[in-house]
Chains A and B, each alone.
Chain A
Amino acid sequence: MNTESHNDPSARQRWMSVLAKADPARLAALMPDLPTLEPLRPPEVGAVMVRGRVGATGAPFNLGEMTVTRCSVRLADGTVGHGYVQGRDKTHALRAAAVDALMQTDQAAQLRVAVLDHLTAEADARWALRAAKAAATKVDFFTMVRGEDA
């Protein structure tokens, strides 16, 4: 089912976020071949300052930086795609930009099944496994029978 549209920023937000957090090797395995594209901005490794909030909800403060690689490409039909990915893998950023561009074309449905659905399901499974392990360490308090009640 193709519900994607380049006019829907929330769908695009979601796929770009999935691509940003994907394992570069897994993305490459799912999408070994890149389409014909022209690099608008070749992959560039940089840092993003990650912010937190004082007391979790207050004023922002600078927590520290993280590595990010970005890239922009243009397909033969003129569609532009952007990739912003965690880490320093330039091919990851290039692939993410290519997928972002292709997701705005009529190849979206095919790409969703071949690439994005796998990445999403695998990320969900990783999340679920950690959550299940955490749940097993949840404390169930019980009150000891008090001496005078026995």
Chain B
Amino acid sequence: MYVAVKGGERAIDNAHAWLAEERRGDPSVAELGVAQIRAQLALAVNRVMAEGSLYDPDLAALAIKQARGDLIEAVFLIRAYRTTLPRLGASNPVDTGAMAVDRRVSATFKDLPGGQILGPTFDYTHRLLDFKLMAEGEVPAAETAPAQTGPVPHVTGFLNRDGLIEPAAASDATPPDLTREPMELPADRALRLQAITRGDEGFVLSMAYSTQRGYGRTHAFVGELRIGRVAVEMDIPELGFAIEIGEVEVTECETVNQFKGSKTEPPQFTRGYGLVFGQSERKAIAMSLVDRALRWKELGEDDTGAPAQDEEFVLMHCDNIQATGFLEHIKLPHYVDFQSELELVRRLRAEAMAGQEMAGQEAAE
């Protein structure tokens, strides 16, 4: 039950003023610029863009500053902002095969066409705190080598030639869009991927990890992980042809999963797919594992009752803005609800006590 009450305006205004002061922090320390966040906290910016479901690094950096580094609050700000934008259209599907790769590794083939390109990775670092970063200093320029110009084909492409992996047949069907129409279950794979790519990284990671530990195991290999920039092309109605309207950085993960065959499918490798805005490799790998786990029905696998196989469980709980909205609302005033609960408990207690007294008297008699 909701009842309008007045009061608290002054307290709220003062709380917000104090919030602004705390956000700024110690004034003797230089203020953090949005451009600095964009450039130097790029992976936080990437996460806010992915979960905010809006690719705009400047806005994501601003949101991080405004949210004092609370990334879910920053995602909330981006989601709120995007509702104010008119939808100008939809792009043609990006061609990740034509990606300008910064990083491209395969855990299944050592010598693959295009090679293993490590890129700017945390892998192979020792995870020891680097105290040099506490002092300001110049960073030496990265090494360069002659750029390769040849194609960097998808691993699944050449497995597919031998019929060893299930094909991913192209289509031009218009995908469902959960930002336009409420998600309905059962969801097709396109809708699931949309929900997971904007889902909370921690949630998707834990779901993926649960499959690795045995709750809906899918025996995944990372066939390929690639990070880089892809052109975004859109048909322009007033021109009658498509132009590139921009470029986005994405991370793509394709898993190759062991599959013994089922009642409906022959033995072959199957696929899980992850595609996420920005350099977000943990999320992309996790997404591909969860995608594969959710495909059990289509592949004729057994439902083991694992959470990661439960579409309703995964899709209805992966969105951190829905989750935090419902979670955090319970801290807001519920005075009237609680008042009625209080009265109910008092009455039940009084009745219970009266009953006990009566039972006591009867026993004494």
Residues of B within 8 A of A (CB): 49-50, 53-56, 58-59, 82, 85-94, 96-97, 100-103, 110-111, 115-121, 142-148, 154, 156-157, 168-179, 189-191, 193-194, 197-198, 231-232, 234, 236, 238-248, 250, 252, 254, 271, 273, 275, 277
* 8 A-B pairs with the lowest CB-CB distances in the bound complex, closest first: A86-B246, A55-B168, A131-B147, A58-B168, A17-B244, A132-B144, A61-B190, A66-B55
Evaluate contact between B243 and A136: CB separation under 8 angstroms.
no
**9 A-B Cβ contacts within 8 A?**
A21-B244, A46-B88, A49-B89, A51-B175, A66-B248, A68-B88, A86-B246, A87-B56, A128-B147
The answer to whether B191 and A54 touch across the interface, beta carbons within 8 angstroms, is no
CB contacts (< 8 Å) of B101 on chain A: these are 134
| Least CB distance, A130 to chain B, in whole angstroms | 6
**Given the complex, which residues of A lie within 8 Å of B171, measured CB to CB?**
58-60
B177:A58 contact, CB within 8 angstroms: no
Interface range, A side: 35 or more
Contacting chain B: which of A28-36, A114-122, A137-145? A137-145
Can you list, as one digit per residue, whether each of A62-81 has a CB less than 8 Å from chain B (1) or not (0)? Answer: 11111110101000000000
In the complex, which of the residues A9, A50, A58 contacts B55, with contact meaning CB atoms closer than 8 Å? A50
Chain B CB within 8 A of A102 CB: no
Q: Could you tell me the distance between the alpha carbons of A49 and B148 in the complex, rounded to whole angstroms?
A: 31
Cross-chain contact B54 with A134 (CB below 8 angstroms): no
Nearest residue (CB) in B for A70 is: B88
Q: Could you tell me if A59 and B115 are in contact, using CB atoms closer than 8 angstroms?
A: no
Q: Which residues of B contact A88 (CB under 8 A)?
A: 56, 58-59
- Whether B94 pairs with A50 at a CB distance below 8 angstroms is yes
**In the complex, A129 Cα to B143 Cα: how many Å?**
10
Question: In the complex, how many angstroms separate the beta carbon of A45 from the nearest chain B beta carbon?
Answer: 7
B347 to chain A, nearest CB (A): 52
Known: A64-B198, A85-B245. A131 touches B90 (CB 8 A): no
A69 nearest CB across to chain B (Å): 9
Q: Is the CB of B247 within 8 A of A57?
A: no
Q: Point out the residue from B54, B90, B117, B240 that lies within 8 Å of A135, measured CB to CB.
A: B117
Query: A54 touching B168 by the CB < 8 A rule?
Result: yes
Are B168 and A127 neighbours in the complex by a CB distance under 8 Å?
no
Number of A-B contacts defined by CB within 8 Å: 237
Asked if A62 and B238 sit within 8 Å, CB to CB, the answer is no
User: Are A133 and B142 in touch, CB under 8 angstroms?
Assistant: yes
In the bound complex, do residue A138 and residue B115 qualify as a contact, i.e. CB atoms below 8 Å apart?
yes
Q: Is A26's CB within 8 Å of the partner chain B?
A: no
What is the minimal beta-carbon distance from A102 to any residue of chain B, in angstroms? 16
CB–CB A20/B244 < 8 A: yes
Q: Are A132 and B56 in contact (CB under 8 A)?
A: no
CA distance A66 to B142 in the complex (A): 30
Q: Known contacts A84-B234, A87-B58: does B110 contact A52 (CB below 8 Å)?
A: no
Please give, as numbers and ranges, the residues of chain A lying within 8 Å of B116 by CB-CB distance.
138-139, 141
Chain A residue with the shortest CB-CB distance to B178: A62
A47 at the interface (CB under 8 A from B): yes
Is A1 positioned at the interface, with any CB of B under 8 Å from its CB?
no
Known contacts A48-B232, A52-B250, A85-B245; 17 additional CB pairs below 8 A are A12-B241, A13-B243, A17-B245, A21-B247, A50-B248, A52-B275, A58-B169, A59-B175, A64-B197, A66-B248, A86-B232, A127-B100, A132-B146, A134-B119, A135-B148, A138-B148, A141-B111
**A141-B232 contact given A61-B190, A133-B142, CB 8 Å threshold:** no
Q: Is the CB of A49 within 8 A of B85?
A: no
Nearest-neighbour CB distance to chain A for B273, whole angstroms, equals: 5
- CB-CB < 8 A to B96: which residues of A? 52-53, 56
Contact A51 B246 (CB under 8 A): no
Min CB distance, A140 to chain B, in Å?
9
Given A57-B168, A132-B145, A138-B116, are A46 and B242 also a contact pair (CB < 8 Å)?
Answer: no
Instruction: Kindly state the separation between the CA atoms of A55 and B56 in the bound complex, as whole angstroms.
Output: 25
Q: What is the distance, in angstroms, from B83's C-beta to the closest C-beta of chain A?
A: 10
A12 and B181 CA atoms in complex are apart in Å by 36
Also in contact, A56 and B168, with CB within 8 A (given A21-B247, A51-B94, A63-B194): yes
